[in-house]
């Protein structure tokens, strides 16, 4: 039940600063994080593949979310996906159905654009379940905690991989995958402050760094190269959080050869948008590509 009439619009880029300010307040600065989403997700916001659903009361912006259209390549078939993210309503306006109204408007827009499915990642899935989203996550999080910095782990700075190298490997090794452009490699998820790219032979890892903590957003393993890649990750980070797909080659290698402690993830939620059902229960979209 909507309490006061919300005016919902799909925004042009010119209206973006006010929305970024809302997103930054909710997801960055009120949570002690740094770096505006304008910079973190510049690839998303500057692309024609993104739209914002914004809810206003008179001229006052109270609620917003972002949608990023993407191409999902699964063997010889391409799917048109829509990622939903940054869903927020200002605290004093919560519980009035505003987020639900924006989600419905954005979903209708995606159907009109011919998208096959939508996906989002939510810590609180209850909000979306009632709106018809289906929970299904193949993600595993591996954690290695080290209480204090281990000087013995220090090594000379190693050469890090370049974006074109990683892109080539991603393109040839990862399937299914999000079709990426180079700017997508500067996409900086929360709460990292910089990105690091590691490569050993045909294995690679894309990591975010915050202090001495590494958050591995994508890891593609080729068994023979994995000892070197793991070594590189351990020598650059004390705490490590590694995101991989359950029972992938990466997961199996890490489970067998490292002390990572594993936890199944329950974040991904999906919504088929066409009668032709998307086989989303077997899909895993890396952190690197998410909004």
Ligand X SMILES: CC(C)(COP(=O)(O)OP(=O)(O)OC[C@H]1O[C@@H](n2cnc3c(N)ncnc32)[C@H](O)[C@@H]1OP(=O)(O)O)[C@@H](O)C(=O)NCCC(=O)NCCS
By the 10 Å C-beta count (0-12 exposed, 13-18 middle, 19+ buried), 199 is classed as buried
**b/e 251-269 (16+ beta carbons within 10 angstroms → b):** bebbeeebebeeeebeebb
- The answer to whether 99 contacts ligand X (rule: CB under 6 A) is yes
- Out of 19, 28, 41, 63, the only residue in the binding site for ligand X (CB under 6 A) is 63
Q: How far is the CB of 253 from ligand X (least distance, A)?
A: 31
Residue among 132 and 164 whose Cβ is closer to ligand X:
132
Pairwise CA distance, residues 268 & 56, whole Å: 28
Q: Which is nearer to ligand X, 55 or 142 (CB)?
A: 55
Q: Residue 50, interface with ligand X (CB under 6 A)?
A: no
- Which residue from 9, 25, 29, 95 is in contact with ligand X, where contact means CB under 6 A? 95
Using CB under 6 A, pick the residue from 94, 111, 155, 282 that binds ligand X.
94
* DSSP designation for 28: I
Q: Which residue has the tokens 């995958």?
A: 177
236 binds ligand X per the rule CB under 6 A: no
Contact 202, 225 (CB under 8 A): yes
- Rounded to 10 deg, the angle between the 249-257 and 226-236 helix axes is 70
Min separation Cβ 46 and ligand X, Å: 22
Query: Is 124 or 148 the residue whose CB approaches ligand X more closely?
Result: 124
| Separation of alpha carbons 57 and 285, rounded Å | 35
Contacts of 1 (CB under 8 A, 6+ apart): 96, 97
Which of residues 87 and 205 has its CB atom nearest to ligand X in the complex?
87
Site track 114-143 with ligand X (rule: CB under 6 A), x = hit: --------x-x-xx--x-------------
User: Shortest gap between Cβ of 26 and ligand X (angstroms)?
Assistant: 5
For residue 218 the two structure tokens come to: 């994508």
Residues shown for the chain: 291
Neighbours of 34 (CB within 10 A): 12
Q: How far is the CB of 2 from ligand X (least distance, A)?
A: 9
Question: Which residue matches tokens 């999906």?
Answer: 270
The structure tokens listed for 265 are 């993830």
**Which one of 19, 23, 26, 54 is in contact with ligand X (CB under 6 A)?**
26
- By C-beta, is 232 or 288 nearer to ligand X? 288
Note the residues at the interface with ligand X (CB under 6 A): 26, 63, 87-89, 94-100, 122, 124, 126-127, 130
């Amino acid at each position: 039940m909507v309490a006061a009439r919300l005016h919902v619009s799909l925004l042009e880029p010119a209206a973006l600063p006010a929305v970024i300010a809302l997103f930054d307040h909710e997801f960055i600065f009120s949570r002690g994080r740094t770096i505006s989403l304008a910079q973190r997700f510049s690839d998303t916001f500057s692309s024609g593949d993104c739209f914002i659903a914004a809810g206003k009361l008179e001229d006052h912006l109270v609620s917003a979310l972002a949608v990023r259209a993407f191409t999902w390549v699964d063997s010889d078939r391409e799917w048109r996906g829509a990622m939903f993210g940054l869903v927020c309503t200002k605290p004093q306006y919560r519980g009035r159905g505003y987020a639900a109204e924006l989600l419905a408007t954005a979903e209708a827009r995606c159907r009109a654009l011919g998208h096959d499915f939508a996906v989002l990642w939510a810590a609180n899935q209850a909000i979306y379940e009632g709106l018809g989203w289906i929970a299904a996550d193949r993600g595993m999080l591996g954690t290695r905690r080290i209480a204090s910095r281990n000087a013995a782990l220090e090594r000379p700075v190693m050469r890090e991989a370049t974006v074109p190298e990683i892109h080539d490997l991603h393109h040839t090794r990862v399937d299914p995958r999000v079709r990426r452009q180079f700017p997508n490699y500067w996409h900086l998820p929360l709460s990292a402050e910089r990105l690091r790219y590691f490569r050993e032979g045909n294995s690679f890892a894309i990591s975010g760094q915050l202090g001495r903590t590494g958050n591995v957003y994508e890891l593609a393993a080729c068994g023979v190269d994995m000892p070197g890649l793991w070594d590189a990750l351990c020598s650059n980070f004390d705490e490590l959080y590694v995101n991989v797909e359950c029972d992938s080659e990466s997961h199996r290698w890490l489970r067998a050869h490292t002390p990572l402690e594993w936890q199944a993830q329950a974040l991904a939620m999906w919504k088929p948008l066409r009668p032709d059902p998307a086989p989303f229960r077997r899909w895993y979209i890396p952190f690197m590509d998410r909004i």
